[in-house]
Amino acid sequence: MKKVLLIICITIFGSVVNAQGIFSLGPKVGYNSYKLSTDLDSIHASIKKSFQIGAFVRVGKKFYFQPEANYQVSESTLSQSIGAVVQSQDVTLKSIKVPALIGLKAESRTNE
């Protein structure tokens, strides 16, 4: 019940503030690519997949503040060769990232 009430309050607040053009809310979805390396020659890593999903809230007109919340999942396989034996382990990394941005909107002007 508390979650429903919170969502209703945020929606109402967002509608009132958005009418003045100083509030926006949106989704974030992305694919990440990276390389995992070690100092040991016997360990190799391969990245299977990596994605993130989240949301942002932007408050302000010309100058704005934009906090975000992103959930990221990365999967890879680590393998190590010891003589003729190869050991392999699947690794899943999950993280929550909360960046906060401060920005300035650039406005284009047309000559009339």
Look at residue 71 in the predicted model and tell me its pLDDT.
Answer: 92
The per-residue pLDDT for range 74-94, each reduced to its tens digit, is 888 878 777 777 788 888 889
Q: Is the pLDDT of residue 10 over 70?
A: no
pTM above 0.85, yes or no: no
Look at residue 100 in the predicted model and tell me its pLDDT.
Answer: 92
Average the pLDDT over 34-50 and give the result. 70
Average pLDDT, the chain: 77
Give CB contacts under 8 A, 24+ apart, made by 96-99.
96/69, 96/70, 96/71, 96/72, 97/52, 97/54, 97/68, 97/69, 97/70, 97/72, 98/67, 98/68, 98/69, 98/70, 99/67, 99/68, 99/70
